[in-house]
Amino acid sequence: MKNRIKVFRAMHDLTQENLANALGVTRQTILAIEKGKYDPSLDLAFKIARYFKVSIEEVFSYEGQLPGS
């Protein structure tokens, strides 16, 4: 799953640590999400989107194929 967290972070002038503290996760988790090594839970994904005051689709994009398509 791709995401634009780094872009939104830059727009809001936030470090990974600041964002992690605001969301209640570790800096390593934010780093792993930005690098695409970890997909956040639904709860965390919504928290990220709400923190940046955007919809979840603007932050995360699903690129996998649905079965049968």
Partner 1 sequence: MRRNSFYILAGIVGLALVGIFWLSVEIYNPTLITVAFIAGIVLLYWLRTRISDRIEDERTILISQKSAMRTIEVFWVVFFAISLGGRTRARCTGAPQTTPPAPGRGPYPARSSRFYADDAPLPDDLPLCRVQDVLRTAIRRVGHR
Binding site for partner 1 (CB under 8 A): 20-21, 24-26, 28-29, 32, 38, 40-41, 43-44
Q: How far apart (Å, rounded) are the C-alpha atoms in residues 18 and 30?
A: 10
- For partner 1, the closer of residues 29 and 54 by Cβ is 29
- For partner 1, the closer of residues 3 and 40 by Cβ is 40
Closest approach of Cβ 47 to partner 1, in Å?
11
Contact residues for 11 (Cβ-Cβ < 8 A; gap 6+): 52
